[in-house]
Amino acid sequence: MNNTTTTRKVAIVGYNRIPFARANTAYSNVGNQDMMVAALNGLIDKYHLQEKLLGEVAGGAVIKHTYDNNLIRECVMKTALDPATPACDLQQACDTGIESAVYIANKIALGQIDCGIAGGVDSISDIPMAMSENLRKILLEARQAKSLGGRIKSFLKIRPKDLVPLVPRNEESQTGLSMGGHTEVTAKYYKISREDQDQFALRSHLNMAKAYDEGFFDDMITPFNGLEKDNNLRKDSTMEKLAKLNPAFDKVNGTLTAGNSTPLSDGASCILLASEEWAKEQGLPILAYITFAEIAAIEYVKKQQNLLLAPLFAASRMLEKAGLNLQDFDYYEIHEAFAAQTLATLKIWESPELSTELGLKKTLGAIDREKLNVKGSSLAAAHPFAATGGRIIGVMAKLLNEKGSGRGLVSICAAGGQGVTMIIEK
């Protein structure tokens, strides 16, 4: 690349997803490819992309079977796109969807491609389970045996305990704690009360229920496998109902429950990105622009309360580069992995002492919470890991397009003490 290369503006042209479903419910009989293809074909139909050769499709899944190898390319081949459209898999835990958007956006900005799709999918219902190490060795030995007698001899070594499958554990390998376990530490450390968490969760459900009633999601979701809307949404949720739920992680002194935490879930989402020129040539709308993005990581092994707080550093660096203050936004979309994690983020932003203790350069200050997750977020919609980024970017782009102008901040935390933020403008 030569030094005269200039960057191009990156437009968000379209979005689509399938309804998100709690694990082992509506999508218990489908997998990653089925869901991703449905989300992609919904986008293709909506924006008349049949037989189009796009620059690239990027995305991924956090939970994958071996048959999901080369997942996104396999999905593209099953859609109505030109089969010559290239694709690649990316994975960065819960940041996967938004990092895929950054990947495609950077290629458009540098002139390498004119358009592309970013997305993500995850199925907890179709979770891969491994065999025990002893069973694996016996099967390998039997396969290598040179006679039927040799194979039988190997099989006779199998014991009942060898047949118990190894179910993947939802925990950080560095600490042995689950995300919920870490967030219990966060809630205690930053003194986030159970009542505040429940109130925050209730607001998410009520905001999303209202958005559905008003038709906000009508052009954003493709029905799939008999589901027309997110089945985690609780329109009739109340503080009284939430208060009756038992702690989910720390059974004795915990404040995190099934009501103020996101459930394990299934789903897929995608967004269409392009240069202004390509969008205009195709007669497609320009909903908003991606203008800045930042990724950060944080130490969380010694300081276990930090696991989901990396977006604080990403936001701080991004705002400095953009020359903006935290208050210079019309909307904020902060991923609600847990109510406690989002509330801790807001508390640290507002507190000079906590900001300094965490290591931030400065206190960013309070935001207008009426501008936060105004259509509900992950606590209501649920959180299929890699699919959340596309859902949030799509909501932000539509909010700004409907307003006609403005600026939005997107923030997503992820396993491994990582986080990504983005600025979207109209």
pLDDT per position as a tens digit, 243-255: 999 999 999 999 9
| Range with lowest mean pLDDT among 86-95, 145-154, 184-193, 258-267 | 145-154
2 pLDDT tier (thresholds 50, 70, 90)? very low
Clarify whether 413 is annotated catalytic: yes
Of 75, 88, 94, 115, which one is the catalytic site residue?
Answer: 94
Residue range 178-196: mean pLDDT, rounded: 97
pLDDT at 328 over 60: yes
Least confidently predicted of 2-11, 47-56, 139-148, 290-299: 2-11
Helix axes 96-109, 388-403, angle to 10 degrees: 60
Residue 94 is among the residues annotated as catalytic for this protein: yes
> Which residues, including other chains, have CB under 8 Å from residue 403's CB and lie 6 or more apart?
330, 426
Average pLDDT of the chain is 95
Give 236's DSSP letter: T
Which of 182, 205, 335, 383 is catalytic? The answer is: 383
pLDDT higher than threshold 50 for residue 1:
no
Q: Cα(81)–Cα(122) distance, rounded to whole angstroms?
A: 22
Write the CB contacts of 37 (distance below 8 Å, at least 6 apart in sequence): 75, 78, 79
Which of residues 212 and 64 earns the better pLDDT score? 212
In whole angstroms, give the CA distance from residue 119 to residue 173. 26
Catalytic residue among 75, 115, 270, 413: 413
Would you say 390 and 380 are in contact if contact means Cβ atoms under 8 Å apart? no
Round to whole Å and give the CA distance between 120 and 327. Answer: 30
Is the pLDDT reported for residue 129 higher than 70? no
Could you tell me the pTM of the whole model?
0.93
Neighbours of 407 (CB within 10 A): 18
CA torsion sign, 343 to 416 to 58 to 315? positive
Helix (H, G, I), strand (E, B) or coil at 110: coil
